[in-house]
Amino acid sequence: MFSTFGPDTLKELRSAFHSVDEHRHVNRFADMHDIGDMLKASGFAAPVMDMEIITLTYDNVKAVMQDLRSIGAHNATAGRGQGMMGKAAWLALQENYERFRKNGKLPATFEVIYGHAWKPKSRVTADGAHIIQTPFKL
């Protein structure tokens, strides 16, 4: 059993950063269907996947960023910026994020994927030896 984030996680923040600069600022996450396919390809049986959308709301972009920092979220993408964001970029981010404001609050969407799969029953040869399949050829 596991949970992970899906591709719609932080979609507002990703969109707001889109025109700020050429760097990637938000991690990318796999779709639940792709994760299910990967489980099957790795030898797991009967994967079951589900997802839910959770939207948190904030007063401003700084509060969004502080909350992400407090849960230990880090940008681990290739193509991320190596330095601090400048004042102009920060102001552009804030302006871009404002278009998502509803009822006085800024949303931050989290797509949470839940999954489980089973280890298939061990196969054995006629003499009782276990058959181990590898995902690669030796």
Helix axis angle for 61-70 and 87-97, nearest 10°, is 100
- Structural domain span for residue 70: 2-131
User: pLDDT digits over 14-71, tens only?
Assistant: 999 888 877 777 889 999 999 999 999 988 999 999 999 999 999 999 999 999 989 8
pLDDT for res 20? 81
User: pLDDT digits over 90-109, tens only?
Assistant: 899 999 999 999 999 999 99
In a domain? residue 40? yes
Distance CA 57, CA 108 (A): 6
In a domain? residue 102? yes
Q: Does residue 118 surpass a pLDDT of 80? A: yes
In a domain? residue 138? no
**36-39 long-range contacts, CB within 8 A, separation 24+:** 36/115, 39/115, 39/117
pLDDT for res 58? 97
The larger pLDDT score, comparing residue 65 to residue 138, is at: 65
In a domain? residue 91? yes
pLDDT for res 56? 97
DSSP H or E run through 90:
helix 87-97
Q: Domain count of the chain?
A: 1
Confidence of residue 83 (pLDDT cuts 50, 70, 90): low
Task: Using alpha carbons, select from 119, 137, 136, 121 the residue that is nearest to residue 47.
Answer: 119
The larger pLDDT score, comparing residue 127 to residue 64, is at: 64
